[in-house]
Homo-oligomer: A and B are copies of this chain.
Amino acid sequence: MAIGITELEHCTLATIRLHQPCSAYAVRQVFARSSTPEWSGSTGAIYPVIKRLLRRGLIEVEPQPDDPRGRRDLRVTPPGEQAVRVWIIDLEPWAAKATPDPIRTRVSFLDQLASDDERIVFLKEAEELTETMLEELRRTVEAVRAVHAAEYLAGRGAIHQLEARLKWLREVIACYGGAAVVNG
């Protein structure tokens, strides 16, 4: 059992499985266009990951006529498919923790701002940015609705998360007397 196989490696494996046969370049695009900022899909990350997955026999290069651009189509092997299943099923407890949120981090230091006015300015900005992200997310998620059920469901999860943040931010704004500033 290969120890120390990372989230990125598992995620790359599952992504190849989903689009196979596909190139490393295609996997990069998927990460780069993802709505969450977990991985950039940088070449310096993906190509070494592909190399490791090949070495472990979890993926293989599809035999085919050489592409003039040097493209190599990849495919997940049966052990690779098994590795994906195990990764999903053997959910480790840490994975269920609340995820770090840069806005929440800042809120926890809110009393280091100079005044309630400053706090409200920050909170309103956070609210507006979250609203914008939510609108954009709704559009992109709706676009995959008909294409891919599981990806749509995951997108719904992200929407729930942003909606929860918005609800919470409004509670926090109320706490710091947001109404007074808005109506005054």
Question: Taking beta carbons and an 8 Å cutoff, which residues of A are in contact with B?
Answer: 7, 11, 14, 17-18, 35-38, 81, 84-85, 87-89, 91, 93-114, 118, 121-122, 125-126, 129-130, 132-133, 137, 149-151, 153-154, 156-165, 167-168, 171-172, 175
CB of A110 within 8 A of CB of B88, answer yes
CB of B95 within 8 A of CB of A102, answer yes
Decide: A161 near B125, CB < 8 A? Known: A110-B153, A130-B96. no
Tally of this chain's copies = 2
Select which of B107, B154, B165 is within 8 A of A105 by beta carbon: B154
Select which of B14, B35, B38, B94 is within 8 A of A109 by beta carbon: B14
Residues of chain B within 8 A of A129, CB atoms compared: 91, 93, 95-96
